């Protein structure tokens, strides 16, 4: 079953991790893709792997023109924009809150939250031209179900993202727009850090492991597809039970 047949989608942060897994999965379900990342070489390799159904935009998601280019590419080549998986993000500087500089704080907010506002601002008009669409944003359990030491800026952005999604729902649900937040736990991506750090993160999850990127991509596919036609303004936890329990690290 091709859940995204004849659908076009933008995926940001597509050169690695969750975005890479989502690009491969969405393509396997028939989607035509505009893939966005800062790294030209891995992005080009991915487009070569996926073939004619995948186009690329090399750019910084904190810049409005990156999103404008991605939307324009989707419309010009695929005729419309149906789906956006706004997945790019950063951990930012890890430090106790009062030790963060203003530059540290603003960089994390701009990458994780303002970039999603910029993305939605470009994507929504294109979706509305064709009667609606689905926006999926990658959040985190950090800042939503719990805080973590040294992650004040990161957690703030992810908490703010859930508010952004609810606002999109309030403004546009009646026009055929769906917006939802995907909230992973720890995932085996470059952002997860060293093997030692991954082992520690696994102890925070009742399943006693961290997620594979493909598992989070599957949750994104559900939210992007018509299978989630009545899911709007929601947080979808994909965190191995992290938000449901508090496990003692060991």
pLDDT by residue (tens digit) across 12-31?
A: 999 999 999 999 999 999 99
- Residue 2 falls within a domain, yes or no? no
Question: Would you call 154 a catalytic residue per the annotation?
Answer: yes
Q: Tell me: the pLDDT tens digits for 101-130?
A: 999 999 999 999 999 999 999 999 999 999
Q: How far apart are CA 68 and CA 57, in angstroms?
A: 10
- Residue 250 falls within a domain, yes or no? no
For the record, the structure tokens of 61 come out as 């998601």
Claim: this prediction has a pTM higher than 0.85: yes
- Residue 152 falls within a domain, yes or no? yes
- Residue 247 falls within a domain, yes or no? no
- Residue 31 falls within a domain, yes or no? yes
Range of the domain at 232: 8-238
- Residue 172 falls within a domain, yes or no? yes
- Residue 1 falls within a domain, yes or no? no
Number of domains in the chain: 1
Low-confidence ranges of the chain (pLDDT < 70): 246-250
Question: Residue 146 is part of a domain; what is its CATH number?
Answer: 3.40.50.720
Which one from 154, 165, 177, 187 is the annotated catalytic residue? 154
For the record, the structure tokens of 160 come out as 């703010």
The H-assigned helical ranges of 29-150 are 40-50, 64-78, 102-109, 115-128
How many residues are present in the chain?
250
- Residue 244 falls within a domain, yes or no? no
For the record, the structure tokens of 15 come out as 């050169």
Question: Residues of the chain with pLDDT > 90: what percent?
Answer: 83
Q: How far apart are CA 88 and CA 95, in angstroms?
A: 21
CB of 110 closer than 8 Å to CB of 102: no
Q: How far apart are CA 139 and CA 86, in angstroms?
A: 10
């Amino acid at each position: 079953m091709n859940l995204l047949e004849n659908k076009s989608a933008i995926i940001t942060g597509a050169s690695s991790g969750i975005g890479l897994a989502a690009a491969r999965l969405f393509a396997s379900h028939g989607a035509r893709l505009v893939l966005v990342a800062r790294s030209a070489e891995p992005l080009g390799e991915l487009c070569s792997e996926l073939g004619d159904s995948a186009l690329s935009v090399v750019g910084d998601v904190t810049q409005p023109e990156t999103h404008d280019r991605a939307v324009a590419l989707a419309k010009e080549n695929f005729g419309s924009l149906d789906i956006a998986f706004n997945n790019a993000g950063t951990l930012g500087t890890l430090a106790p809150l009062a030790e963060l500089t203003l530059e540290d704080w603003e960089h994390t907010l701009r990458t994780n939250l303002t970039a999603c506002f910029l993305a939605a601002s470009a994507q929504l008009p294109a979706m509305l031209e064709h009667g609606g669409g689905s926006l999926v944003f990658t959040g985190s359990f950090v800042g939503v179900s719990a805080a973590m030491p040294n992650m004040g800026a990161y957690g703030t952005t992810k908490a703010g993202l859930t508010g952004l999604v609810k606002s999109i729902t309030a403004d546009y649900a009646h026009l055929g727009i769906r917006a939802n937040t995907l909230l992973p736990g720890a995932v085996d991506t470059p952002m997860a850090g060293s093997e030692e750090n991954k082992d520690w993160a696994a102890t925070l999850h009742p399943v006693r492991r961290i997620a594979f990127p493909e598992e989070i991509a599957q949750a994104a596919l559900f939210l992007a597809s018509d299978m989630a036609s009545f899911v709007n303004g929601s947080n979808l936890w994909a965190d191995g039970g992290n938000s449901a329990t508090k496990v003692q690290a060991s």
